[in-house]
Amino acid sequence: MRLMAARALLCFSACSTWHVLAAENKAHPGGYPTRPVRFVVPFPPGGGDTVARIIGYKLTEATGQQFVIDNRPGAGSTIGTAVVANAASDGYTTLFATSAFAISAAIYRKLPYDSVRDFAPVASIASAPLLLVANPSVRATTVKELIALAKANPNTLNYASNGSGSITFLAAELLKSMAGVQITEVTYKGAGASIAALLAGEVQLMVAPLGPALPHVKSGKLKALGTPSAQRSAMFPELPTIGESGLPGYEAVNWYGVLMPRGASQQLVSVLNQHIIASLEAPDVRGRFAQLGYEAAPSSPEQFGKQVREEIKQWRQLIKDAGGPQS
């Protein structure tokens, strides 16, 4: 009798365990994640890390496991990137990358990681239009007028950047090179600090993310001179592109995506990719992105990897053509 009772208890326990595991695997395809995941953001809070927080919240909601935002700024985003390159490839430390990831690979000759070899692309998340904006004190209302002003007064205008590994830096340097003007860079820690300096008049210009800059343009605290994208922004359709305004062929794009350390299994990459794509399809995420000036840009791991590799080559060629060797 006791033996039968013991067997029944063992069967009940096993069945209960099977049901729990089945429920976990249904909630987390492939059994991942089963504990918190760290999103390393290689720049300070403010600006682009808003995208990481939006998608991290949605992933937490979908998986039941927290996606923790870990800001690790410094050295043109390379410090935080190196943290992920050296992390375990178990899927619990991931990199929230931006255009700075490709730009750093183009600018720096020696990095503490290999931008292609040491990472497993997971997914593209979003793109963000940029704006060339000026403090109202600048006596120019168009790109042509700005170029004329800069040529007549070399080295008297300053522009804000988020560091040499940022799109705000390379976009401005590309403008200088193509226009043949001398404008001085002033570096700040993050888009929030850069825009604050521009508003205060510490600097006169910036190629800024559209989302954080647009409210100040609408209030008249900043002047928008042009957009660096190939096409006019849907959020600011009356503003011409910089290419339309006297610099044909000028283009700079800001993007956001996720990578894992090299060695992450295809299953881990695929599961996180699926979660990200599902999150990007959610109406509340797309609505929040639209409010902030971002556009959802879901992709497969293969598509995102190709995008990153091609952009590294593109920026390297542009820097070479501009006569700016890698540091």
Structural domain count, the chain: 2
User: For residue 19, is it within any domain?
Assistant: no
Tokens of 313: 């080559």
In sequence order, the 6+-apart residues with CB closer than 8 A to the CB of 131 are 207, 208, 209, 210, 213, 214, 217, 224, 226, 227, 228, 236, 239
Tokens of 31: 């059994």
> CA neighbours within 13 Å on the CB side: how many for 298?
14
- The neighbour count for residue 31, using CB atoms within 10 Å, is 13
Overall average pLDDT of the 293-299 stretch: 89
> Quick one: 96 and 141 in the same domain?
no
Whether the pLDDT of residue 326 is over 90: the answer is: no
> Quick one: 261 and 218 in the same domain?
no
> Quick one: 86 and 152 in the same domain?
no
> Distance of alpha carbon 162 from its chain centroid, rounded?
13
Q: Are 133 and 205 in contact (CB under 8 A)?
A: yes
Overall average pLDDT of the 315-325 stretch: 71
In the numeric block, the tokens 């226009």 are attached to: 179
Domain of 304?
A: 30-128+253-321
Q: In CATH, what number is assigned to the domain containing residue 43?
A: 3.40.190.150
pLDDT in tens, 87-113: 999 999 999 999 889 988 988 888 999
> Quick one: 222 and 137 in the same domain?
yes
pTM here? 0.74
User: For residue 17, is it within any domain?
Assistant: no
Q: What is the pLDDT of residue 47?
A: 65
User: For residue 98, is it within any domain?
Assistant: yes
User: For residue 72, is it within any domain?
Assistant: yes
- The neighbour count for residue 78, using CB atoms within 10 Å, is 24
What is the distance between the alpha carbons of residues 322 and 28, in angstroms, rounded to a whole number? 48
User: For residue 286, is it within any domain?
Assistant: yes
User: For residue 59, is it within any domain?
Assistant: yes
What is the distance between the alpha carbons of residues 306 and 268, in angstroms, rounded to a whole number? 19
Q: What is the pLDDT of residue 327?
A: 57
Q: What is the pLDDT of residue 191?
A: 82
Whether the pLDDT of residue 26 is over 70: the answer is: no
Amino acid, res. 121: P
User: For residue 241, is it within any domain?
Assistant: no
Q: What is the pLDDT of residue 324?
A: 55
Whether the pLDDT of residue 35 is over 60: the answer is: yes
Whether the pLDDT of residue 49 is over 60: the answer is: yes
Q: What is the pLDDT of residue 9?
A: 39
Whether the pLDDT of residue 76 is over 90: the answer is: no
> Quick one: 98 and 109 in the same domain?
yes
Whether the pLDDT of residue 225 is over 80: the answer is: yes
More confident residue, 56 or 30: 56
Q: What is the pLDDT of residue 17?
A: 37
In the chain, the percentage of residues whose pLDDT exceeds 70 is 88
Q: What is the pLDDT of residue 323?
A: 62
DSSP per residue, 144-195:
HHHHHHHHHSTT--EEEES-TTSHHHHHHHHHHHHHT---EEEE-SSHHHHH
Q: What is the pLDDT of residue 196?
A: 95
Q: Strands across the sheet with 93-98, in order? A: 67-71, 37-41, 93-98, 254-261, 119-128, 295-296
What is the distance between the alpha carbons of residues 198 and 216, in angstroms, rounded to a whole number? 11
Mean pLDDT of the chain: 87
- At 5, the pLDDT band (50, 70, 90 cuts) reads very low
pLDDT in tens, 145-197: 999 999 999 999 999 998 776 788 889 988 998 999 999 999 998 888 999 99
* Domain end residue (candidates: 208, 226, 244): 226
More confident residue, 193 or 210: 193
> Quick one: 188 and 277 in the same domain?
no
Q: Which of 91, 85, 77 is nearest to 276 (CA)?
A: 91
Largest CA distance in the chain: 101
> Quick one: 121 and 150 in the same domain?
no
Q: What is the pLDDT of residue 320?
A: 78
Whether the pLDDT of residue 24 is over 80: the answer is: no
Overall average pLDDT of the 204-221 stretch: 92
Q: What is the pLDDT of residue 232?
A: 86
In eight-state DSSP terms, residue 87 is S
What is the distance between the alpha carbons of residues 93 and 86, in angstroms, rounded to a whole number? 10
Q: What is the pLDDT of residue 2?
A: 41
User: For residue 11, is it within any domain?
Assistant: no
DSSP per residue, 204-252:
SEEEEEHHHHHHHHHTTSSEEEEB-SSS--TTSTTSPBTTTTT-TT---
Least confident of 17-26, 46-55, 106-115, 146-155: 17-26
Q: What is the pLDDT of residue 287?
A: 93
> Quick one: 134 and 183 in the same domain?
yes
Q: Is the peptide bond before 325 cis (omega within 30 degrees of 0)?
A: no
Whether the pLDDT of residue 228 is over 80: the answer is: yes
